[in-house]
Structure 1
Amino acid sequence: MFNTCDYLERPFIDYMTEQMGIPTWGVGPLLPESYWQSPSDSSIRHRQIRAKQRQSNYTEDDVVKWLDGKPPGSVLYVAFGSEVGPTPEEYPELAGALEESTGPFIWVIQPGSGGSEPGYGLESKVGERVLIRGWAPQLLILSHPSTGGFLSHCGWNSTAEALGRGVPFLGWPVRGDQYFNAKLVVNHLKEGGCCERIEKLMGDEEMKKRALAIRQKFENGFPASSEAALDAFGDFITSEKQLRSYIHTQII
């Protein structure tokens, strides 16, 4: 069972079936129920998922207010998850690129994500930039119409969340499956780039059209192909149990 769906990875699901010689099912992406229940063009509030907000220097309402004041598709969201991130040597390079960029951005830095004391001169302030230390309402940010790009480590949950909301990527993979996820986004789905200029990502209209086309595939909620795969998996398990039971009675 794979945490993906036909919309995103049908050729690769087929490949795994062929290579392993056993049935495979794409039963995802496995994201919060509120993600699938919310219209694809509306924001997802964190309180829809859990009532308590984690430690952060910005509240969810602060983030909403800031995003509401920005033009559609103008904000770059920068986040590397809670466990990985750029090296201490790379952080100043990223900070410099963000400092030189012309558009608004949100940069999320979590303790233990790979860097030393972050910031490098980028102050946490409301204006054209927001530097969040700690928890950030990622689903809200990715689903807000002002967000137009995502600089990401390409962890699978983050990748699936952004793909379903039609947000193009700048991939910065760090380890493990993140490299393959970045290749999926950049080479197969063509919804992003790696090591490219921020302005190129934010201004690429063709890429935005491809991202929108993927978002539209998720407008009806959890993929029908994944529901069918779950049913097929259940039928497979039932048939296997029945077969084993029949063989057992014949042996006895």
Structure 2
Amino acid sequence: MQLSEALAKHGCKITFVHTEFSQKRANKASGGLDKLKELGINVVTLPDGLEAEDDRSENMKVIESIKTNMPPLLPKLIHDINALDVDNNITCILVTMNMGWAWQVAQTFGIKGALLWTSSASSLAACYCIPSLIHHGIIDSEGVPTKKQEIQLSPNMPMMNPADLPWTGLGKAFFPLIAKEMETLESGEWWLCNSTCDLEDGALAMCPKFLPIGPLMESESNKSSFWEEDSTCLYWLDQQPPQSVVYVSFGSLAIVEPNQFKELARGLDVLNRPFLWVVRPTNDNKVNNAYPDEFHGRKGKIVNWVPQRKILNHPAIACFISHCGWNSTIEAVCNGIPFLCWPFFTDQFVNRSYICDVWKVGLNLDKDENGLILKGEIRKKVDQLLANEDIKARSLKLKELTINNSAKGGQSSKNLENFINWAKQ
């Protein structure tokens, strides 16, 4: 949606395709489509093929249903859109991961296709390297690491454990899906990345298709949010001293296990600092975990969902306890916020490597022998991070470098304009 808004500002005519289910959720959370229409973005829907009562948190089930049910419906949608404005027919279809089938439909119409990669460019580089990783025996044909070792995908990328590759931890069914998707997308000319060369120069140099156009941060709407945002936290932040609040959020997918949830609650309680903690509801709007009996939370505020970019831009925020998802990482970097890293899966481990080892704008939260991050570890690392003036200075410098890329005349801005000129032809 952020890319759609950026393209619309450059005069592109945008049609954004949602699933019917997702659009209903987004409408409920954000209150309609009027703002998008004002920006020149038309939203249309296609059914995902599932029943209303089906659990859409089962990602593989949703992906397979979409791949089965949507391809026959897209040609009619393209015909209908083109019929509405014969002088402005569709010239390019942008797809995300798992939507390569739409690219194939576009090719039958002679329409150009491009990929928007919404995770880090380093995770795209890892997926791009799948044939090479198999060839060199680093992973087997099912994506499983063959042995314990450290690898480097390119000379200017951090060392990584093959067990931290983006598909590990997702289940065996996802690896062949990713490998097939990369083959499908190979014919596209551009793979757009919400990143910059200042952040991931080694990864972006691996393939001439990789085009950094980030950071995508200028969205004027919250139409990509699936939960209603609690804006009361902004008024609460206004009452807190500058750089005093510890912000905690693990994004839209990660689930904290009950024992770890209790330990996190205890850790926030003993900080003796104000905290803002996002405890996301489940799809049925219930909270999975119970707070420990001794948890008071007097110094903090707990909410279901927040306008995160506004939170991270608030002067009261001191640091971000984060899952290191790429959107959250970009948003924090663009606001000069230091990190405490708590990755769960996919690209979050390699993002942590960049945060802690390459950019050096955060610290890692270490687990104990039972796999728990204990309250003492949380308190110790918060104190270390907030006392480290070098990390604060590097965070502000990285903010400046990153934002300058999307300013007029910046490299990402130029790349986006070049892409638009190609897409319009």
Select which of 190, 200, 203 maps to 1:12.
Answer: 203
Q: Which residue of 2 aligns with 1:131?
A: 302
Q: Quote the RMSD (CA, aligned, Å).
A: 2.8
Matched, 1:116 2:307: no
Confirm or deny: 8 A CA contact 1:74 1:202 kept in the other structure. Answer: no
Any idea what SS the aligned residue of 1:89 has?
helix
Any idea what SS the aligned residue of 1:210 has?
helix
What's the CA shift for 1:9?
Answer: 1.3
**Whole-angstrom CA distance in 2 between matches of 1:119 and 1:31:** 34
Q: Which residue of 1 aligns with 2:99?
A: none
Percent of aligned positions that are identical: 32
Select which of 203, 207, 219 maps to 1:33.
Answer: 219
Any idea what SS the aligned residue of 1:78 has?
strand
Q: Which has the higher contact order (CA 8 A, sep 6+)?
A: 1
What's the CA shift for 1:143?
Answer: 0.4
Confirm or deny: 8 A CA contact 2:196 2:402 kept in the other structure. Answer: no
**Whole-angstrom CA distance in 2 between matches of 1:214 and 1:168:** 11
Matched, 1:78 2:234: no
Q: Which residue of 1 aligns with 2:337?
A: 167
Matched, 1:214 2:390: no
TM-score by length of 2: 0.46
What's the CA shift for 1:233?
Answer: 3.9
Map 1:170-181 → 2, pairs under 5 A: 170-181=340-351
Q: Which has the larger radius of gyration?
A: 2
Q: Which residue of 2 aligns with 1:201?
A: 385
* Number of equivalences: 214
What's the CA shift for 1:54?
Answer: 4.5
Any idea what SS the aligned residue of 1:90 has?
helix
Q: Which residue of 1 aligns with 2:152?
A: none
**Whole-angstrom CA distance in 1 between matches of 2:413 and 2:228:** 36
**Whole-angstrom CA distance in 1 between matches of 2:384 and 2:215:** 28
Deviations 1:7-31 (A, max 9, x none): 21123211x22xxxx4421112223
TM-score by length of 1: 0.75
**Whole-angstrom CA distance in 2 between matches of 1:235 and 1:49:** 27
Q: Which residue of 2 aligns with 1:226?
A: 412
Q: Which residue of 2 aligns with 1:192?
A: 362
* Paired letter, 2:300: R
Confirm or deny: 8 A CA contact 1:82 1:112 kept in the other structure. Answer: no
**Whole-angstrom CA distance in 1 between matches of 2:291 and 2:302:** 8
* Paired letter, 2:395: A
What's the CA shift for 1:236?
Answer: 6.4
Q: Which residue of 1 aligns with 2:273?
A: 103
What's the CA shift for 1:219?
Answer: 5.2
* Paired letter, 2:248: V
Would the alpha carbon gap of residues 88 and 205 (structure 1) be closer, same or farther in structure 2, given more than 3 Å must change? same
* Paired letter, 2:390: E
**Whole-angstrom CA distance in 2 between matches of 1:10 and 1:85:** 31
Confirm or deny: 8 A CA contact 1:82 1:111 kept in the other structure. Answer: no
Confirm or deny: 8 A CA contact 1:164 1:215 kept in the other structure. Answer: yes
Any idea what SS the aligned residue of 1:170 has?
strand
**Whole-angstrom CA distance in 2 between matches of 1:53 and 1:68:** 26
**Whole-angstrom CA distance in 1 between matches of 2:262 and 2:243:** 26
Any idea what SS the aligned residue of 2:398 has?
helix
What's the CA shift for 1:112?
Answer: 3.0
Deviations 1:35-54 (A, max 9, x none): xxxxxxxxxxxxx646x994
Confirm or deny: 8 A CA contact 2:320 2:338 kept in the other structure. Answer: yes
Confirm or deny: 8 A CA contact 2:215 2:405 kept in the other structure. Answer: no
Confirm or deny: 8 A CA contact 2:405 2:413 kept in the other structure. Answer: no
Deviations 1:133-165 (A, max 9, x none): x22121121000110100011111111000000
**Whole-angstrom CA distance in 2 between matches of 1:221 and 1:172:** 28
